Amino acid sequence: MQDDARYLKRKVTAGSLDVHPTEKALVVHYEVEATILGEGGGHMLGERKEGQKIIRVKSLSPSTDVGALAKKVMEECKLIPASRLPQVEQLLYYLQNRKSSPVEGKLEKKEKRSVKPRELTPFEGMEINEEACITRVDEYIELLYEGIPEKIRGSALILQLARNPDNLEELLHNEAVLGALARVLREDWKQSVDLATIIIYIFFCFSSFSQFHGVVSHYKIGALCMSVVEHELKRHDVWREELRKKNKAYIL
């Protein structure tokens, strides 16, 4: 086959655009399709690969002309079609507002460090008096194999980590933690609303960035969420019906 191969055809297709979760940068997703053609022009072998290019815009500041910067980005990155210029401007505006200055960024980090763990809880009633540490994530995973109270504690600590975008990449590379969370949600969501809510919140943190959407899809979190919502709606209807019957009996 190698003797018959004559040409290599390479096609690059631009995908989605997004902002980097922690840096002043744009993330360009793309797909490369490489095809080996025979002497007659027929396809002999093909392969597709996905990739991403990070375009850092460290010079972006509150006084930056976003329109001009967007055009410069378009000139330097040929992966982005000209029709995407308005989207590039919109993403740059978002970055400009998200991180207005290094001084404010330092203040935000200082404020985050001063926040107490219980103030990071996503809803009232789920409180934990300890601060999570990314280096102890394996300990939190072990809690997910214990009883419901331990599972709630372990998932709550992991949630603390997931709410910081800087930790998402490291959590993503730890296959055990995401697999365990998905398993607990799938098996135990009917036993504890608090537990289900915490784990769904963790995956919500990942879903906030398009580069992590594959993780959410892989573990079928969307389908699990629909099951939880449907179950809770049915419970609500049952409670309302029971309350109606009790009120009717009381009146009679």
pTM for the predicted model, two decimal places: 0.49
CA angle 128, 130, 136 (to 5 degrees): 120
How big is the chain by its Cα radius of gyration, in Å?
25
Domain segments of the chain as ranges:
5-106, 126-237
SS3 119: helix
Phi-psi region at 57: left, alpha or beta (left = phi > 0; alpha = psi -120 to 50):
beta
Could you list the pLDDT tens digit for every one of the 252 residues in the chain?
444 444 556 677 878 888 887 788 888 888 877 666 566 656 555 667 777 788 888 888 888 898 999 999 888 888 888 888 988 998 898 888 874 444 344 434 444 443 333 344 445 445 567 888 888 898 999 999 999 999 999 999 999 999 888 888 889 888 789 889 999 999 988 888 889 999 999 999 998 888 888 888 888 888 888 888 888 888 888 888 888 888 877 765
